[in-house]
Amino acid sequence: MSYMPDGWTLPALDDLNRPFFTTGKLMLQHCVDCDRVQHPPEDICIWCQGDHLDYVEARGTGDVYSYVVPHHPPNEKLTTRVPYNIILVRLDDYPHVRILGNQIDAEFDEVTIGTPVRVTFEEIADQNGGATILLPQWVKA
Amino acid sequence: MHGTSVVVGVGESTYYRAGRAPESEFQLACIAIRNAVADAGLQMSEIDGFVTYMDFQRNDALRLMTALGTGDLSFSAMSWPGGGNISAMPIQIADAAITAGYAKNIVVYRALAQGQFGRYGRPPAVPYATGAAAFKTPYGEASPAMNNAMPFTRYMHEYGVTHEATCNLSLASYAHAQRNPRAIRYGQPLTREDYYASRWIVYPYRLFDCAQENDGAAAMVISSADRARDLKQQPVYVKSAAAGAEQRAGLQATYNEPYFPYARRLHVADRLWSQAGIGPKDVQVAQFYENFTGSTVMCISDMGFAPPDGIEEFLSNGNIQWPNGKLPINTSGANLAEAYIHGFENQLEAVRQVRGQSTSQVENVEFSLAVGGPGAPVGSAALYSKQA
């Protein structure tokens, strides 16, 4: 059971985001040339413009840096899901990186800025037959 | 070089609620352009350039020049990337083209019929999200309101800003719209109680924090100062126009920009004021794009009118309401209450304020500001003046 409804939008997997969405680890893109981490992933390093990038696993802890609570459904797939929370997590080990997610153990009105959170993963089958997604999500640490 | 180009004409179509326009979006564009050209006292055959933004090739320069019967086309361009955030960027482009002599009379316009091409607040569900959206939509971040809300929640937390700031912005727009017969919310006043009683769209935004969705078009004609001298209207100079973004601003797509949660207009502010040789205190009236009020609150601060921890006070006590406010803001009703023509209607209102033709006319306007959208990393602003 995932936080968002069955059949909701999945990430379109590509070479840049596959480690983030399919490994069950919080993988961030890392520059081999300058040793810095960037998010979201890009074709080249935005810090040193190097062409050699790989991925590193982040610790997977952080705090709620900001959040919003959608109440009005923009389309029919969300009509029975609202209200829900969307949080922006600032990572402890890479504080310049912020990752969007849902705090899946909190109701829509239970989210507060500063809450320590840790990553967890939702296994979501692609109804169209694509690769299974292991979607990074967040619970109270 | 600034001050060499002049807004000589403004015009718009009737503004409609989304889906209510009897005309097509293209016809709305033609109506607005015809009105702007007539307002200038020009002949359509003298128009030789077109500039717009986020048009998606629906109302392109070739189709317009053909239908409208302009002369030869000498210049056409479209600003990018973004929507209302770059609503002042086509002014900058037209100013550059006029100053360089590439064209003589350029139409700058925006036609937007959300009733015909999809409402911005109702993006359809998609099976897959690509690019930056891949990191957002799977978590239910699926509308412009949600996207614009995230920085403001943090901004409120960091600077102690409350909903009084957004409420006052909304109330000012609605109050000004009651004086403007063009406004869709004309005859529909809003009270503080109405604002706070309205439903949440996405926390921290209530209904009256969100722009309308409309059908309409707005246009202006920009010419050289020499050409403007013998035209119908008082010349309104493009004193300064700025557009752009801070280094690595593209990280904003997933809220990873270094300066989050600022509205990211600092670069544009620096450019605008330094080119003009004046500052925020020298402006008598201002229009700010408001897709969502929180983004606008941040933008007003970023343009230098008040620091973040002073912005709520700046917006309070009627300070931004005509006629007694120190800086009347959004004097036509703007996107919240006049019409959502993607911010371009605000550019027209700024010109009217210099001419003395606003329905909430500020006295002795020397400098009139119109700032393009917050909520996306590329910002834009245009400063209009009575003198070159």
pLDDT tens, residue by residue, B97-126: 999 999 999 999 999 999 999 999 999 999
Helices (H) and strands (E) in chain B, counts: 13, 13
Active site includes B289? yes
* Residue spans per domain, chain A: 18-140
CB B367 within 8 A of CB B384: yes
The catalytic residue among B155, B186, B289, B384 is B289
Q: Is B256 on the interface with A (CB under 8 A)?
A: yes
Nearest CA of chain A to the CA of B222: how many Å? Answer: 38
For residues A3-15, average pLDDT = 97
Strands lying side by side in the sheet with A37-38: A37-38, A27-31, A53-57
Model pLDDT, residue B56: 87
Q: Does A102 touch chain B (CB under 8 A)?
A: yes
Q: How confident is the model at residue B263 (pLDDT cuts 50, 70, 90)?
A: low
Query: How close, in Å, is residue A57 to chain B by CA atoms?
Result: 17
Option in A9, A40, A78 nearest B127 (CB) = A9
Instruction: Set out the domains of chain B in order of their start, with CATH numbers.
Output: 5-118+211-385 (3.40.47.10)
> In which band, very low, low, confident or very high, does the pLDDT at B264 lie, cut at 50, 70 and 90?
low
Q: Which residues contact B22 (CB under 8 A, 6 or more apart)?
A: none
Q: In the predicted model, what is the mean pLDDT of chain B? A: 96
Examine the residue annotation and report whether B155 is marked as an active-site residue of this protein. no
Q: What is the Cα–Cα distance from A68 to B362, expressed in whole angstroms?
A: 37
Cα–Cα distance between B315 and B173 in angstroms, integer? 12
In this predicted structure, the answer to whether residue B272 has a pLDDT above a threshold of 80 is: yes
Spot the catalytic one: B120, B186, B340, B384. B340
Closest to A36 (Cα-Cα) out of A60, A59, A54: A54
Inter-chain touch A76–B125, beta carbons under 8 Å: yes
In this complex, which of A84, A88, A135 lies closest to B150 when CB atoms are compared? Answer: A88
Residue B107 to residue B382: CA distance in whole angstroms: 16
Check if B151 contacts A (Cβ < 8 Å): yes
* Local confidence band at B376 (pLDDT 50, 70, 90 cut-offs): confident
The reported pLDDT for the residue numbered A79 is 96
**CA B361 to each of CA A96, B77, B325, B371: distance values in angstroms, whole numbers, following the listed order:** 46, 32, 12, 18
Chain A CB within 8 Å of residue B127 CB: yes
B136 in A contact zone (CB under 8 Å): yes
What distances in angstroms separate CA B266 from CA A82, B243, B272, one per listed residue?
Answer: 35, 11, 10
Q: How far is A24 from chain B (nearest CA, A)?
A: 15
Residue B233, pLDDT score: 96
Tokens of B16: 């409609």
What pLDDT was estimated at residue B265? 73
Distance from CA of B195 to the nearest CA of A (A): 16
Please, what's the b/e burial string for B222-252 (b: 16 or more CB within 10 A of its CB; e: otherwise)?
Answer: bbbbebbeebebebbbbbbbbbbbbeebbbb
CB–CB contact B150 A14 (8 Å):
no
Report the greatest alpha carbon distance in chain A: 48
Least confident of A130-139, B12-21, B250-259, B331-340: B250-259
Least confident of B62-66, B164-168, B256-260, B359-363: B256-260
pLDDT confidence of B48, banded at 50, 70, 90? very high
What's the confidence (pLDDT) of residue A5?
A: 97
Of A65, A60, A62, A73, the C-alpha closest to A111 is A65
- State the residue for tokens 């605000």: B346
Task: Compare CB distances from B202 to A4, A40, A70 and report the shortest one's residue.
Answer: A70
The pLDDT of B214-240, averaged and rounded, is 96
Nearest alpha carbon to residue B27 among B14, B17, B39: B14
pLDDT of B304 strictly over 60 = yes
Separation between Cα atoms, residue B254 and residue B231, nearest integer Å: 48
Q: What number is the average pLDDT over the span B340-357?
A: 98
- Closest residue in chain B to residue A47, using alpha carbons only: B248
Helix H or strand E segment including B380:
strand B379-385
